[in-house]
A and B are shown apart, each in its own frame.
Chain A
Amino acid sequence: DTGVSQDPRHKITKRGQNVTFRCDPISEHNRLYWYRQTLGQGPEFLTYFQNEAQLEKSRLLSDRFSAERPKGSFSTLEIQRTEQGDSAMYLCASSHSQLAGAYNEQFFGPGTRLTVL
C-alpha cells in the first residue's frame, strides 16, 4: 500500500495520560498535515510541515499538543495530559508542493480514533 498510513488506528486512554500517534506520508510527498475530526463535522486543520519544518499551527493546537517531523518523512503527534474533549479522529494528509503546483491536492490516511475515558 503506497498511501498515507497511520498508527495506531484506535487508541483508548484514561484522562491525564499521554498519547502519541504516527503518520507515514506518501513517500515522495514533502508536505504533511494533521487534522482533527469530531463526529458529524468536517476535518479541522491542526498543523502543517514542509519537509521537517513546522510552518503553521492552528489555534486549536493547545500547549498540550506537539507535532514533529524530524527527518522530513514520518511525523508524530503527541497529546499530553489528555482530556475527554480530545476524543476525536486524528487525520494525517500529505501532498507534494511541486507536483500540486500552487494548489494543494491532499491525500488522507485512515486516521487514528482517540477515545479518552
Chain B
Amino acid sequence: GESVGLHLPTLSVQEGDNSIINCAYSNSASDYFIWYKQESGKGPQFIIDIRSNMDKRQGQRVTVLLNKTVKHLSLQIAATQPGDSAVYFCAENTGTASKLTFGTGTRLQVTL
C-alpha cells in the first residue's frame, strides 16, 4: 500500500447518509480482498471480504464492490452511524500467499 504519512484521506458524512470508501489495489494476481475497520488504539476489525470470482458481496449494512478491470474496490456503508467513525483499510491477498497487503486508509467521520 502507499504511504500517506499522518494525513489520511478523510470522508465526512452525515448520520443516516450512505458512505462510499474507495480503494485501488496494485497486484493483478490478488484474488481475495478484505475491508477492515480500525478505531483509535485498537487493532483492525474484520468487516467483509470478497473473492475475485465475485463482483459484489453484501453484509449487514455493508456492501463491497470489486472491479478487477480497473483494480478497484469499494465499501458502501448504508445509513451511516456515529459508531462507524473509524479508519477503514482495504487489504489484498493471493490465495496461495500468507500476508495481507494493506492499502491507504480512509478516515470516516460521521457528523450528527
Collect the chain B residues with CB atoms within 8 Å of residue A44's CB.
Answer: 102
Q: How many A-B residue pairs have CB under 8 A?
A: 75
In A37-75, the 8 Å CB interface with B consists of 39-45, 48, 55-56, 58
| Binary contact readout B87-103 vs A (1 if CB under 8 angstroms, 0 otherwise) | 00101010111111111
Chain A proximity of B57: nearest CB distance (Å): 13
- A104 and B89 in contact, given A40-B5, A40-B6, A45-B100 (Cβ under 8 angstroms): no
- From A42, A55, A103, A113, contact of B93 by CB (8 A): A103
Count residues of A near B (Cβ-Cβ below 8 Å): 27
Quick check: A108 and B44 within 8 Å, CB to CB? yes
- A40 and B99 in contact, given A91-B43, A91-B44 (Cβ under 8 angstroms): no
Chain B proximity of A30: nearest CB distance (Å): 12
Collect the chain B residues with CB atoms within 8 Å of residue A41's CB.
Answer: 1, 3-5, 105
| Binary contact readout B31-53 vs A (1 if CB under 8 angstroms, 0 otherwise) | 11010100001111110010100
- A106 and B42 in contact, given A39-B6, A42-B89 (Cβ under 8 angstroms): no
* Interface footprint category on B: 20 to 34
Quick check: B49 and A58 within 8 Å, CB to CB? no
Quick check: A104 and B102 within 8 Å, CB to CB? no
Quick check: A33 and B98 within 8 Å, CB to CB? yes
- From B49, B99, B102, contact of A105 by CB (8 A): B49
Query: Can you report 13 A-B residue pairs in the complex whose CB atoms are below 8 A from each other?
Result: A31-B98, A40-B4, A42-B89, A42-B91, A45-B101, A103-B31, A103-B95, A104-B32, A104-B95, A108-B43, A109-B43, A110-B41, A110-B42
